[in-house]
Amino acid sequence: MEKIFNSNMHCAACKGNIETTLKKMDGVLEVSANLVNNVVKVRYNEKKINEQDIINACKGIGYKLEVIDEDEQYSKEKSYKLDLIKIIVGLVLLIPLMFFSMSDMYSGLIPDALKEPLYLLPLVELGLTLVIIVIFFNYYISGFKSLIKLSPNMDSLIFLGSLFSLVYSLYFIIKLIVSPGDYFVYEMEPGKIMFHTYLDSAAMILVIVSIGKLIENLSKRKARSTINELLKLRPKYANLIKDNEIVKVETKFLKAGDKIIIKEGETIPLDGVIVNGTTSVDESLLTGESLPIYKEEGEKVIGGSVNKDGSITVLIDKSKKGNVLSKIISLVMEASNMDTKLTRKVDRVARVFVPVVLGISLLVFLIWIIIDYATNGGNPTLGTHFTSGFDEAFSFAISVMVVSCPCALGLATPISLLCGSSLFAKNGILVNKSEAIENMKDIDCLVLDKTNTITNGKLTVNKYNIFSKNPAKHNQIYTIEKFSTHPLSEGIATLLSKECELDKNFTMISNVPGRGVKGIYKDETIFIGNDMLLNDEYHGETNEALNKYLDEFKTEGTLPIIAFTENEIIAIFSLKDELKKDAKEFIQEVKRVFKKVVLLTGDNEIIAKNIANEVGIEEVIANVKPDGKGDLIKKLKEENYKVMMVGDGVNDSIALTLADVGVGIAKGSDVALASSDFILMNDNLLDIIDIIKISKKIRTNINFNLLWAFIYNVVFIPVAAGVFAPLSFVLSPMYASMLMALSSVTVCINALTLFLYKRKIQ
């Protein structure tokens, strides 16, 4: 059984702690925690454990889990009103606290009533600090639980930083109450010690970190904007036909087999087939296709598309979970959490990050204590900054704890992948395997299938000649092609429909495998097919004109189709698979990017070479079966090429799987191309240029985020530890907390810049 839980995790260490804890449970089969939408997916043996066991296990280490349904993992957005109120109240209290804590700098502004006794003002500061701690006490609870369970996270660092600052300040306040004559606050007095507390740091750490987390969460919400837009495509209600009546029901109750009526302007809730009516549908938000698409009876419609013209009746053929919209949403979200070599490395680092930081913090404290007490007799090395050696060592240790940021490291990759996959989806491209984004940087060879990739996949009549002058024969050919299921019949039927009428006197129309079709009219059989069918069934006189046309069409690389009876040649048609409108422009673009471009097809060599010459491809491999396509990919890889394969996902599945990057072109509502790394929701070849460019931008974005997270921690942890103290460059806990919040926000904002991408080629 699989359950989906919403959680309160918020850093890479949280993600690691939850996954590690649950994986240790007997009965848990698989765990996947997503830091971007705070969701945990658990697959488990329900005979051994239940969902409450999972919730309790996480509760024990400081995390709250709540069971949600499949849609809620994308749509359930936390309200940040309470967080905002807490931050506003915290800031209102923090301002006077900061003013009082720095009172020695402007003692004239402090009311005389607060100056005597000396401990009165510190007690006021303590009161303000305690209120702020109560407001943000969740950090204390979470941090404490994580420490007790030996699963420290970012909350543990914040908790310890704030707690130690509070305890140390309480220690000083007690000393001030007991021995007020030993200290001075406003004016330096000989023989007395400057009084200073860290109450401002204890409070500010909580407030500043909360501000940073709020900005980070809002950035994540923006990153999920594409998913939210897609979710809005699913209407809440639908008109269900039940017992010959129309009943308004919630969409979530619809199932495969239901019939619904979609009125003009309404959104189609689930995938289905039109059983009554015709219309034009807008699929732009799903496929990137800007123009409405004409649909008639028997054609599929996609859930989430908009009915633009007239009322239609739709038979639902897929459940909510299996429809295109759900698959798109799932792929966009899952792309941010896919297990790649890079994310595995980052997760391993993040898992040990907090314990290492705690160790460094303790080491820094001990080093400064030794320096101050061994060389300065307990006096601070930096006398202008600190009141005692202990004060100095304590400040540096707290700063190390507070400045370190596992969030920036843990968010660097998934937040960029989410924004990137959302950007892909906006352009009609789905990411099936996010590791392919990283692989794109090495691709130097492009292999293209012909049919449905370079060409439209629909054969149309290029040239033709009618030998028979009998109109009845023309009508018979049209009738056979109109009612035939053969894929080559449509082009001829379309041509003849302008001048011919249907003849319904046929007793049978059937396919001739590998040859064509035939229809029986009274006692006469009419054949329509290739020259092999002609050789098998034609017994009349040799037709020199026919032979001339056959040679001409074959030389041109088109497919000749002959209509005939046993004794008479009726007509010959030349069928051609037309190029896609953007094929030539696409080939020009990819030639600038790849070392090698290959056209790979099962068609005959003449047709393949003609298509290749038309678009500008030099290397052509024809007459290749599906397994042969896979062999070619292997051969290219053995020659040290990094291969991208583009195909329609049916007979190209072997090659798509073997390629370093596979790009499948979805047909209609089929987005479940498991063998593809990327899925094109429409057949615009220029989307492949987008794959190249967007992948590069995502890699650059991830690299910047990781570099920033790495440099930030490598630089500021030593600074916070006091390495540059001899140069009078000291980082107080207050400024350390600001930097920590800034580091996570920087990563999120940088990831959002991916949405600035605009396609240059249209």
Instruction: Determine which helix (DSSP H) or strand (DSSP E) holds 238, and give its type and residue range.
Output: strand 237-242
Q: Can you tell me the distance from the alpha carbon of 600 to that of 654, in angstroms, rounded to the nearest whole number? A: 13
Q: Can you tell me the distance from the alpha carbon of 517 to that of 527, in angstroms, rounded to the nearest whole number? A: 6
The DSSP secondary-structure symbol of 648 reads -
CB 403 within 8 A of CB 720: yes
Neighbours of 589 (CB within 10 A): 17
Q: Can you tell me the distance from the alpha carbon of 332 to that of 334, in angstroms, rounded to the nearest whole number? A: 6
Give whole-number Cα distances, 534 to 472, 507, 524, 546, 674, in Å: 21, 22, 16, 11, 41
Close Cβ partners of 745 (under 8 Å, ≥ 6 residues apart)? 212, 215, 216, 219
- DSSP for 117-149 reads STTHHHHHHHHHHHHHHHHTHHHHHHHHHHHHT
Give SS3 for 205.
Answer: helix
β strands within 24-145, DSSP E: 28-34, 39-44, 65-68
Number of H helices, E strands in the chain: 25, 28
What ranges in 639-685 are assigned the alpha helix state H? 653-658
Looking at residue 430, its amino acid is: L
Q: Can you tell me the distance from the alpha carbon of 579 to that of 216, in angstroms, rounded to the nearest whole number? A: 47
CB 481 within 8 A of CB 492: yes
120 alpha carbon, distance to own chain's centre: 56
* β-strand pairing of 259-262 with 619-621: unpaired
Torsion angle defined by CA atoms of residues 590, 596, 601 and 604, in that order, rounded to the nearest 10 degrees: 110
Q: Quick one: tokens of 227?
A: 């998913």
514-532 burial, b if ≥16 CB within 10 A, otherwise e?
A: ebbbbbebeeeebbbbbbe
Q: Can you tell me the distance from the alpha carbon of 626 to that of 632, in angstroms, rounded to the nearest whole number? A: 10
Q: What phi and psi, each to the nearest 5 degrees, are found at residue 372?
A: -70, -40
Q: Quick one: tokens of 461?
A: 């009549």
* β-strand pairing of 312-316 with 569-579: unpaired
CB 266 within 8 A of CB 308: no
Catalytic residues: 449
Give SS3 for 550.
Answer: helix
- DSSP for 677-715 reads SEEESS--THHHHHHHHHHHHHHHHHHHHHHHHHHHHHH
CB 294 within 8 A of CB 278: yes
Give SS3 for 285.
Answer: helix
Q: Can you tell me the distance from the alpha carbon of 97 to that of 734, in angstroms, rounded to the nearest whole number? A: 13
